[in-house]
Amino acid sequence: MMAIETTDLGRRFKRSDGLRKASLRVPEGSALALIGANGAGKTTLLRILVNVLRPTAGSARVLGKDSRTLTAADFNRIGYVAENQKLPERLSVEQFLAYLSRLYTRWDGRLAQRLLRDFELPPGRPIGKLSHGMRMKVMLTGAVAFRPELLLLDEPLTGLDPLTRDEVVAGLVRQADETTIVISSHEMAEVEGLATEIAYLDRGFLEFQQPTQDLLARFRHVTVTLNQPPPSLDDLPGNLLLVQGFERTITFIEPRFAGEASLRKKISAYYGSIEHFTAERMSLRDVSKALLQASRVLHP
């Protein structure tokens, strides 16, 4: 079953396309990371899914319903947190959660109290006196405590210190067994231990969606030392990313790695004999960084 299914989804603004023909499939029980630079279309996509924005093309189904027809009952099954979300600053943490408990029929008071303890949130402190990281923990507590079937998180970890970020991710991992999670980010280090699937957006286009392990299997950071300086780097295959050269050494990212032997053969066909060759596996953070850097090179 699919928790989210979009077909050729698009959103046109006055002067630009925020999203273009995005077809996305998010299976129930998965944790999908939407990655891409600022302005790639991540927030637009998530806002369409919760009917804050209407699509101008295509369609989106959320928990089996057209996103444009979601009702209050449906939002008892969907949690949504955005980085710039406003909170009632005069209410204490405890008062805010008590208010939310009356809105959600599935509210779990024990879970809310456990999250308060896990996140070390001060129940009696006004929200307006909390740090950015603590405010984000309050929002996540409110979004998780009613046990949603689907949790949509728009850049929830931006600006958090590493310790707070790790605490938040740990809390999400504990919830992942019973909730489908979609989390947007431009920094994969934030969600490396959470995401089971990756979807990459670039300038409104959904370039690919892939299980995390399959993505990691096809990316390699390659270093090649030739027996003689290459005449040019322009002749290398076009799918290689971030090609750089210095004297006899070339480095690049191979995004379609199919084995060391075939890659060595491909490079030697362009430049002759190879003195030294390494193809190193990359972390999810490094893959994300390479994709973002390559996008800036292609679209300055």
Q: Write out the H or E segment, with its range, that includes residue 294.
A: helix 284-298
* pLDDT for position 53: 95
* pLDDT for position 241: 85
* pLDDT for position 225: 94
51: CB partners within 8 A, 6+ apart = 67, 68, 70
DSSP 57-100: EEEEEETTEEGGG--TTGGGSEEEEETT----TTSBHHHHHHHH
Cβ(112)–Cβ(10) below 8 Å:
no
CB atoms near residue 158 (< 10 Å): 17
Architecture of domain 2-210: 3-Layer(aba) Sandwich (3.40)
* pLDDT for position 187: 66
Q: Which amino acid does the sequence have at 278?
A: T
* pLDDT for position 297: 53
* pLDDT for position 12: 92
* pLDDT for position 291: 84
**Domain boundaries, given as residue ranges, for the chain:** 2-210, 220-281
185 SS3 class:
strand
Give the residue from 195, 192, 197, 196 showing the smallest Cα distance to 285. Answer: 192
One pLDDT digit (tens) per residue for the chain, 300 residues: 899 999 999 999 988 888 999 999 999 999 999 988 888 899 999 999 999 999 999 999 999 999 999 999 999 999 999 888 899 999 999 999 999 999 999 999 999 999 999 889 999 999 999 998 899 899 999 999 999 999 999 988 777 777 887 888 877 777 667 799 999 987 666 677 788 999 999 889 999 999 999 999 999 999 999 988 887 777 676 678 888 888 889 999 999 998 999 889 888 888 888 999 999 999 888 888 888 887 765 554
136's tokens: 């984000």
